[in-house]
Amino acid sequence: VCLGHQAICTAFGAKVSYAKRLMHGKSSRISLDSDSIFEGLPNEITVGRYHSLSLLEDTLPDSLKIISKSEDDGEVMAVKHKEFDVYGLQFHPESILTPDGLTIMENFLNRL
C-alpha cells in the first residue's frame, strides 16, 4: 500500500517520481481490471489517496501489469506481478475514503 506499492515497483525496475498533483486525504474514482482482489466490486470505485509520489508508467517493467488507474489524473493505482503473487496498491484500502476497501483486503487475504 502506497509507499510499499512504490517500493515493489522500484524493486522490479520501475521508477517513481513526484505525482501529477498532491493527493493527501483526497478521494478519486478508479477503474478496476478483472482480478481476484477486486472480486465482487463494480468496474469503478472511490478510493482514498494520500501520496505525493507515484509510479512513472512508462518505466513499468514487463513483469508488472497495471490493474487499476485513477479516472481523474490517469495515475497507476494498482499493479500485480505476472509471475509472483505480488500486488501493489497506490491508494489506501484501509481508509474511510475507500468504502470498498474491506472487500479488497478480504479478497487479498483469501488468496493466502
Give catalytic residue positions.
2, 92, 94
- CA 14 vs CA 42, 61, 72, 98, 109: distances in Å: 28, 6, 22, 26, 26
> What residue spans of 12-100 are helical by DSSP H?
none
> What residue spans of the chain are helical by DSSP H?
3-11, 101-110
Please give the DSSP secondary-structure letter assigned to residue 92: B
